[in-house]
A and B are shown apart, each in its own frame.
Chain A
Amino acid sequence: MQDWEVVIGLEIHAQLTTHTKIFSGSPIAYGAEPNSQANLLDLGMPGQLPVLNKAVIPKAIRFGLAVGANIGRRSVFDRKNYFYPDLPKGYQTSQFTYPIVEDGGSLDIEVDGQTRRIGITRAHLEEDAGKSIHDAFPGMTGVDLNRAGTPLLEIVSEPDMRSAQEAVAYARKMHELVQFLDICDGNMQEGSFRVDSNVSIHKPGTPFGTRAELKNINSFRFIEQAIEFEIERQIEIVESGGEVIQETRLYDPERNETRSMREKEEANDYRYFPCPDLLPVVIEQTDIDQEARAMPELPDAKRVRYQENWGLSQEDAQMLTASRAMADYFETLVDLTGEAKKAANWVMGDLSKALNQDGLTIDRSPVSAKMLAGLMARVDDGTISGKMAKQVFAAMWAGEGHADDVIEAKGLKQITDEGAIGEMVDRVLAEHPDQVAAYQAGQEKMLGFFVGQVMKASKGQANPAQVNAVLKARLAQA
Chain B
Amino acid sequence: MHNLSLKTLSERLQSRELTSVALTQHFLDRIARFDGELNAFVTVTPELALEMAQAADAKLDRGEGHRLTGIPVAHKDIFCTLDVKTSCGSKMLNNFLSPYDAAVVEKLKSLDMPMLGKTNMDEFAMGSSTESSYYGRTLNPWDHRAVPGGSSGGSAAAVAAGLAPVATGSDTGGSIRQPAAFCGISGIKPTYGAVSRYGMIAYASSFDQGGPMARSAEDAAWLLEAMAGLDERDSTSVALASTDYSRDLSRSVQGMKVGVPEEYFSEGLEADVAETVQQAIGELEKLGAEIVRIHLPNKDLAVSSYYVLAPAEASSNLSRFDGVRYGHRCEAPKDLNDLYTRSRSEGFGDEVKRRIMVGTYVLSEGYYDAYYRKAQKLRRLVRDDFVKAFEQCDLIVGPVAPSVAFDIGEKTDDPVSMYLADLYTIPVNLAGLPAMSIPAGFARGRPVGLHIVGPYFEEHKILQLAHQYQQVTDWHHAVATDYR
Q: Which chain B positions have C-beta within 8 A of A40?
A: 99-100
Contact A143 B324 (CB under 8 A): yes
Q: Which chain B positions have C-beta within 8 A of A88?
A: 320, 324-325
Asked if A422 CB lies within 8 Å of chain B CBs, one says no
Asked if B336 CB lies within 8 Å of chain A CBs, one says yes
Q: Which chain B positions have C-beta within 8 A of A143?
A: 324-325
User: How far is B364's CA from A269's CA once the two chains are assembled, in angstroms?
Assistant: 7
Closest residue of chain A to B79, judged by CB? A47
Q: Which of B86, B232, B322, B340 has the most CB of A within 10 A?
A: B322
The minimal Cβ–Cβ distance linking A284 to chain B, given in whole angstroms, is 18
Closest residue of chain B to A84, judged by CB? B336
The minimal Cβ–Cβ distance linking B208 to chain A, given in whole angstroms, is 9
Asked if A204 CB lies within 8 Å of chain B CBs, one says no
The minimal Cβ–Cβ distance linking B91 to chain A, given in whole angstroms, is 14
CB interface residues, B 181-238, toward A, < 8 Å: 197-202, 204-206, 232-236
User: How far is B195's CA from A49's CA once the two chains are assembled, in angstroms?
Assistant: 14
Which residue in A47, A85, A273 is a CB contact (below 8 Å) of B198?
A47
Asked if B360 CB lies within 8 Å of chain A CBs, one says yes
Interface-side segment among A4-12, A274-282, A301-309:
A274-282
Contact A44 B372 (CB under 8 A): no
Interface-side segment among B149-157, B287-295, B311-319, B467-475:
B311-319
Contact A46 B86 (CB under 8 A): yes
Which residue in A46, A85, A91, A271 is a CB contact (below 8 Å) of B201?
A46
The minimal Cβ–Cβ distance linking A94 to chain B, given in whole angstroms, is 13
Asked if A81 CB lies within 8 Å of chain B CBs, one says yes
Contact A90 B235 (CB under 8 A): no
The minimal Cβ–Cβ distance linking B353 to chain A, given in whole angstroms, is 15
Q: Given the interface contacts A49-B234, A51-B233, A83-B322, does A273 sit within 8 Å of B316 by beta carbon?
A: yes
User: How far is B233's CA from A441's CA once the two chains are assembled, in angstroms?
Assistant: 92
Q: Which chain A positions have C-beta within 8 A of B99?
A: 40, 45
Asked if B365 CB lies within 8 Å of chain A CBs, one says yes
Contact B232 A90 (CB under 8 A): no
Q: Which chain A positions have C-beta within 8 A of B232?
A: 51
Contact B326 A45 (CB under 8 A): yes
Contact A49 B80 (CB under 8 A): no
Q: Given the interface contacts A276-B206, A278-B235, does A46 sit within 8 Å of B320 by beta carbon?
A: yes
Contact B322 A49 (CB under 8 A): no
Contact A47 B313 (CB under 8 A): no
User: How far is B322's CA from A276's CA once the two chains are assembled, in angstroms?
Assistant: 21
Contact A79 B325 (CB under 8 A): no
Closest residue of chain A to B197, judged by CB? A49
The A-B contact count (CB < 8 A) is: 97
Asked if B397 CB lies within 8 Å of chain A CBs, one says no
Contact A47 B316 (CB under 8 A): no
Asked if B448 CB lies within 8 Å of chain A CBs, one says no
Which residue in B233, B318, B340, B360 is a CB contact (below 8 Å) of A271?
B360
Contact A46 B313 (CB under 8 A): no
The minimal Cβ–Cβ distance linking A84 to chain B, given in whole angstroms, is 8
Asked if B363 CB lies within 8 Å of chain A CBs, one says yes
Interface size on B, residues (CB 8 A): 44
Contact A47 B324 (CB under 8 A): no
Contact B320 A44 (CB under 8 A): yes
Chain A interface residue number, banded: 20 to 34
User: How far is B317's CA from A91's CA once the two chains are assembled, in angstroms?
Assistant: 9
Asked if A21 CB lies within 8 Å of chain B CBs, one says no
Contact B80 A277 (CB under 8 A): no
Q: Which chain A positions have C-beta within 8 A of B233?
A: 49, 51
Q: Which chain B positions have C-beta within 8 A of A141?
A: 336
Contact A46 B322 (CB under 8 A): no
Q: Which chain B positions have C-beta within 8 A of A47?
A: 79-80, 98, 102, 197-202
Asked if B450 CB lies within 8 Å of chain A CBs, one says no
Asked if B442 CB lies within 8 Å of chain A CBs, one says no
Which residue in A50, A91, A272 is a CB contact (below 8 Å) of B319?
A91
Q: Which chain A positions have C-beta within 8 A of B316?
A: 79, 81, 90-91, 271, 273
Closest residue of chain B to A270, judged by CB? B365
CB interface residues, B 296-337, toward A, < 8 Å: 312-313, 315-316, 318-322, 324-326, 336
Q: Which chain A positions have C-beta within 8 A of B205?
A: 276-277
User: How far is B320's CA from A48's CA once the two chains are assembled, in angstroms?
Assistant: 11
User: How far is B322's CA from A81's CA once the two chains are assembled, in angstroms?
Assistant: 13
User: How far is B205's CA from A23's CA once the two chains are assembled, in angstroms?
Assistant: 16
Q: Could you give, for residues 36-54 of chain A, a 1 whenever the CB lies within 8 Å of some chain B CB and a 0 otherwise?
A: 0000100111111111100
Q: Which of B96, B336, B360 has the most CB of A within 10 A?
A: B336
Contact B96 A46 (CB under 8 A): yes
User: How far is B197's CA from A50's CA once the two chains are assembled, in angstroms?
Assistant: 11
Asked if B368 CB lies within 8 Å of chain A CBs, one says yes
Contact A43 B234 (CB under 8 A): no
Q: Which chain A positions have C-beta within 8 A of B315?
A: 81, 271
CB interface residues, B 69-116, toward A, < 8 Å: 79-80, 86, 88, 93, 96, 98-100, 102
Contact B235 A46 (CB under 8 A): no
User: How far is B316's CA from A271's CA once the two chains are assembled, in angstroms?
Assistant: 9
User: How far is B320's CA from A51's CA once the two chains are assembled, in angstroms?
Assistant: 18
Q: Could you give, for residues 262-295 of chain A, a 1 whenever the CB lies within 8 Å of some chain B CB and a 0 otherwise?
A: 0000000101110011110000000000000000
A-B contacts besides A47-B197, A48-B198, A49-B234, 12 pairs, CB < 8 Å: A44-B325, A45-B326, A46-B93, A47-B202, A49-B198, A81-B315, A81-B363, A83-B319, A90-B316, A91-B319, A143-B324, A269-B364
Q: List 20 A-B contacts (CB under 8 A).
A: A40-B99, A43-B325, A44-B325, A46-B98, A46-B202, A46-B321, A47-B198, A48-B198, A48-B199, A49-B198, A49-B235, A51-B232, A51-B234, A81-B363, A90-B319, A272-B363, A273-B372, A276-B206, A278-B235, A279-B236
Return the 8 tightest CB-CB contacts between A and B, nearest first: A90-B319, A271-B363, A276-B206, A276-B205, A47-B199, A44-B320, A46-B201, A47-B80
